[in-house]
Amino acid sequence: VNLSESRDLPADKVIALYAANGWSAASKPQELCNALHNSHSIVSAWIGKELVGLGNALSDGFLVVYYPHLLVLPSYHGQGIGGRILEHLKMKYHGFHQHILVADGRTIEFYKKHGFEQAGSTQPMWIYQGADH
Ligand SMILES: CC(C)(COP(=O)(O)OP(=O)(O)OC[C@H]1O[C@@H](n2cnc3c(N)ncnc32)[C@H](O)[C@@H]1OP(=O)(O)O)[C@@H](O)C(=O)NCCC(=O)NCCS
């Protein structure tokens, strides 16, 4: 598995990765590609020419980094790919005051293994157009 920080990701492969995980962003392909391109960082994981995983970060560049998306092709789950992408992003923002994300319920153990914890007594809040959580 090779990791890349390139912003020039093939749209068809990106959409296929989101669709394979049932993520609603796949239904807004142009916005999704623009969003990834505009992210502070994107890390993609490749096996040959196959896009097998992707994670992005939004950041002010100094204090706070937020990780909106992290996903791996379902047939490659549990092989350490998501962990590698997350560690790569964490390292890039090492020392920042706050690394924050909204963990899907099934992924809490995964994020705990990578050093995240429940954010004090806070509760995530959003205005959301999707129906996949
Ligand atoms: C969550 C996700 C990114 C983890 O990536 P991954 O490459 O499968 O994870 P890794 O192999 O690095 O780590 C495996 C750990 O992840 C956790 N995990 C969460 N969902 C999993 C799944 N569907 N399959 C396997 N492991 C999963 C387990 O705790 C596992 O720990 P274990 O190896 O001790 O059993 C990936 O499973 C995924 O894309 N899930 C669907 C999308 C999603 O929910 N993303 C997170 C949004 S907040």
- Residues 41-79 have pLDDT tens digits of 999 999 999 999 999 999 999 999 999 999 999 999 999
34 CA → ligand 1 middle, Å? 26
- Angle value at C-alpha 55, between 68 and 110, nearest 5 degrees: 80
77 CA → ligand 1 middle, Å? 6
Give the pLDDT confidence score for residue 60 in this predicted structure: 98
Q: Sign (positive/negative) of CA torsion 18, 9, 110, 118? A: negative
DSSP code for 26: G
Give the pLDDT confidence score for residue 115 in this predicted structure: 98
Q: How confident is the model at residue 13 (pLDDT cuts 50, 70, 90)?
A: very high
Entry field: residues in the chain: 133
SS3 117: coil
Three-state secondary structure readout of 61-111? CCCEEECCCEEECHHHCCCCHHHHHHHHHHHHCCCCCEEECCCCHHHHHHH
pLDDT tens readout for residues 93-102:
999 999 999 9
Give the pLDDT confidence score for residue 119 in this predicted structure: 96
pLDDT tens readout for residues 74-125:
999 999 999 999 999 999 999 999 999 999 989 999 999 999 999 999 999 9
Look at the block and give the residue holding tokens 């390139």.
6
**Which of 66, 86, 110, 132 for a ligand 1 pocket mutation test, highest count of atoms within 8 Å of Cβ?**
110
How far, in Å, CA of 92 to CA of 109, rounded? 22
CB-based contact 1:45 (threshold 8 Å):
yes
